[in-house]
Amino acid sequence: MKQILTIVVVVFTVVSLIAITFTLNQVNQESTRLENDIQYRSSLLADGLKESVEPNFINKSDAYLQTLVKRYANRQRIAGLAIVDNTGNIVAVSSSLPKELSQPQQIATDVMDSDKADGDFVTFNGKKLYVYAQPLHDKKSVVGALLVVQNAQYIDGRLLEIWTNNALRIIIQALLLSVAILLILRWIISKPIQKLVESLQSTRLNSNNHNNQTFTQNPLFNPLLKEVAHMQQSLIQARIAASEEAKASLEKLDSPWTAERLKHFVKDLIKNRQIVVVSNREPYIHIKNGNKITYYFPASGVVTATDLLMQSTGGIWIANGSGEEDKAVVDSNDHVQVPPDDPKYTLRRVWLTEEETHGYYEGFSNECLWPLTHSAHVRPTFRKEDWEQYRQVNEKFAEVVLSEIKNLKKPIILVQDFHLALVPSIIKKTRPDATIGMFWHEPWVSAETFSIFPWKKEFLDGMLGADLLGFHTQLHCNNFIGTVGHELESLIDYEQYSVTRDGHTTAIKPFPVSIAFSNGNHQAITEDEREKQEKILKDLNIHTKYIALGVERLDYIKGILERLKALEILLRNNPSLREKLTFIQIAAPTKKNVKKYREFDAEVAKEVNRINNLYQTRNWKPIVLLKKTYAHEELIQFYKLADVLLVTSLHDGMNLVAKEFVAARDDEKGVLVLSQFAGASHELKDALIINPYNADTTAEAIFTALQMSEFEQIKRMKKMRTAVKNYNIYRWSAEFLKTLVSLG
């Protein structure tokens, strides 16, 4: 509808401009005609009076001259007459004209000087007048002038009438044409296109209800409809073939995994059981954009991985409703179908108070657990009141889960991340038939590091309520087993890697999370992508040969300050790179209510400014800091234009950015510089692995990446792309669910 209104407005504007142009031409022509007419009439009147005026003027018959001008004073459109001598003095004047005639007298003077009749338009007492002057002669010279003053107000009135009539005509014509176009667009074009879109959507959503026949008689769309019908048939056949292929490869975990294959795998695996995901972060956040409610997808590895799983399997996702318009879109049960544009599963929102958010999320999760589990040299803050809020919110989430599964038999519960560590045991106590899997997306530190945690026993007991605990790496599994052995009385089976406590057994397994990447085929950059990348660089005023890139949340565990230090060393040791290298740091703002993050934000900005001030020139600065959140499609273009991606995490569970960069590089070029402390380093072994704490070796790795030959880049990138392709998010989901179901 918005596009249709835009077209109508454009048509209305164009028609109006054309009509105004013609009206302006008409007004100019009419104005010229009326002005010529008044000039002609004035000259005729002056010529006729001159024969009577001249002899009486020479004979000094002032009384006769006054009578003469008085006689013509009240004639139609004549404002008056006046006679002046060659010194400019008024000899006779109509009573309708004042005694002081400065402008007419000046015209009379000019006429007497040139001895040639002339006239001009003047404004007199707020009225438009035409003053015509005719020189008077004796036998030898000019002795005076006859002034004929005509009322010219009617000219402006006539021109205003033309503008008024044409304006009304313009409005009526433009409105009629706009309405006609609106009807044509809506009923002849928009409606059929809408039906065509619905038909294509039904095909995309695997529906058999195709409605092409409802508008096949429209000759405008017949050629298009024939092609669409062929495409639909081809798509249906391709889907059937893919479905059959997916069914045939269900038991072959090493063959390529796709969303379609995962869908069939899960359907065959769980039969009629329901999957319920529980996490703090929701996958779709509703906000207001002007007067319209819209949404965005948060930048989170947990959300990215789990959303793809849920779109493939369906079910219910329970999460904290944090968007400003989240309550406006849910039903009476706090449910909303997502994704909004193509619903695949149900999102159930949990509402937290400001006090709960402050204690459970900002306090305990981000000031206690986050620094504790990441060993980022930021001291954890242990506050009892935060712990109490954490417990209460976990209980609230567990109650919501229990209400959603009360009518389900043997439900499968997937608890995501450290915000809800107590939920598994709470659910298990009430519903022992539920099969519970928990995935810990962060690192798990050593037993000695975890031992400083005041509520460690209750926390570990909460996690051990799960039937399966998943971590990114075997090291994290080892650390967790070591922590349990150090803190709790339990039976640990090192052969099966499980923990039995109070009669319940929990399996501990590594499942390195990944991304949706299933093709891995080499593709040259398209012209459209090239234009997008050129626009990015132009908008950022970047003209350098090399582009290095960093993409992450503005978080102290990501090693951003260490990376900046390495870049400073690189520029200091390699002056030839100045004005040839630009580093783009995309740092999405996060956790603004946490003091440490606000301090870190300011520290990063200060360091960027310091380095830029040290090295920048008139047309170049080495670091471009972009503190904003980009959509995934926008990040893809940044990944594609970068020569080097820097992932310098000080301690990270996986870091999916590294894998996203590899997946984006379908030109098989680019170099990944990767921290040894990111989980991705265990899989992407052909990256340049660095210790982010050593700025000198990081600088050397960046220099090596910039100098790497295209052959070497392609060789390394191919291997990394194969690794990501072979273990993508669909395989991760399949292996985690298969292991979990086997335990239940």
**CATH 3.30.450.20 in the chain, residue ranges:** 2-157
> Between these two residues, 97 and 588, which has the higher pLDDT value?
588
Question: What residue type is 420 in one-letter code?
Answer: L
Q: Could you confirm whether domain 271-350+409-510 is CATH 3.90.1170.50?
A: no
pLDDT tens per residue across span 413-426:
999 989 999 999 99
What is the pLDDT averaged over residues 542-556? 94
3-state SS string over 411-427?
Answer: CEEEEECHHHCCHHHHH
pLDDT tens per residue across span 553-604:
899 999 999 999 999 999 999 999 999 999 999 998 888 788 888 999 999 9
The CB density around residue 684, as the number of other CB atoms within 10 Å, is 24
Q: How distant, in Å, are the alpha carbons of 1, 34, 186 from that of 340?
A: 20, 67, 25
Q: Which helix (H) or strand (E) holds 336?
A: strand 335-338
Query: Which residue pairs, CB below 8 angstroms and at least 24 apart, start in 538-544?
Result: 540/584, 540/624, 542/582, 542/584, 542/624, 543/619, 543/620, 544/579, 544/580, 544/581, 544/582, 544/620
Query: Confidence band (pLDDT; 50, 70, 90) for 197?
Result: confident
301-313 vs 729-743: helix axis angle to the nearest 10?
70
Angstrom distance (rounded) from CA 365 to CA 363:
6
Residue 73's nearest CA partner among 99, 103, 93 is 93
pLDDT tens per residue across span 654-679:
999 999 999 999 999 999 999 999 99
Q: Which helix (H) or strand (E) holds 569?
A: helix 560-573
pLDDT at 99: 64
pLDDT tens per residue across span 156-165:
888 888 888 8
Q: For 527-727, CATH number?
A: 3.40.50.2000
Angstrom distance (rounded) from CA 641 to CA 672:
13
Query: Confidence band (pLDDT; 50, 70, 90) for 213?
Result: very low
Lowest-confidence pick of 385-394, 584-593, 697-706: 584-593
pTM, rounded to two decimals:
0.69
Q: Which helix (H) or strand (E) holds 547?
A: strand 546-553
Residue with tokens 């706009």: 178
pLDDT at 247: 55
Using an 8 Å Cβ cutoff, are 367 and 594 in contact?
yes
pLDDT at 149: 86
Query: Which DSSP letter does residue 208 get?
Result: S
Please say if the pLDDT value at position 27 is more than 50: yes
Using an 8 Å Cβ cutoff, are 692 and 677 in contact?
yes
**CATH 3.40.50.2000 in the chain, residue ranges:** 271-350+409-510, 527-727
pLDDT at 177: 77
pLDDT at 54: 83
Lowest-confidence pick of 38-42, 304-308, 467-471: 304-308
pLDDT at 210: 46
Ramachandran region, residue 559 (left: φ > 0; alpha: ψ -120 to 50; beta: rest): left
Lowest-confidence pick of 117-126, 239-248, 515-524, 681-690: 239-248
What is the pLDDT averaged over residues 692-712? 96
| Residue 673 tokens, joined | 């510089």
pLDDT at 434: 96
Please say if the pLDDT value at position 502 is more than 90: yes
Query: Which residue pairs, CB below 8 angstroms and at least 24 apart, start in 77-80?
Result: 77/38, 77/150, 77/151, 77/154, 78/45, 78/148, 78/149, 78/150, 78/151, 79/124, 79/127, 79/129, 79/149, 79/150, 79/151, 80/149
Using an 8 Å Cβ cutoff, are 675 and 645 in contact?
no
What is the domain class of 2-157 according to CATH? alpha beta
pLDDT at 35: 86
pLDDT at 268: 87
Query: Confidence band (pLDDT; 50, 70, 90) for 218?
Result: low
Query: Confidence band (pLDDT; 50, 70, 90) for 299?
Result: low
Q: Please give the mean pLDDT across all residues of the chain.
A: 87
Query: Confidence band (pLDDT; 50, 70, 90) for 496?
Result: very high
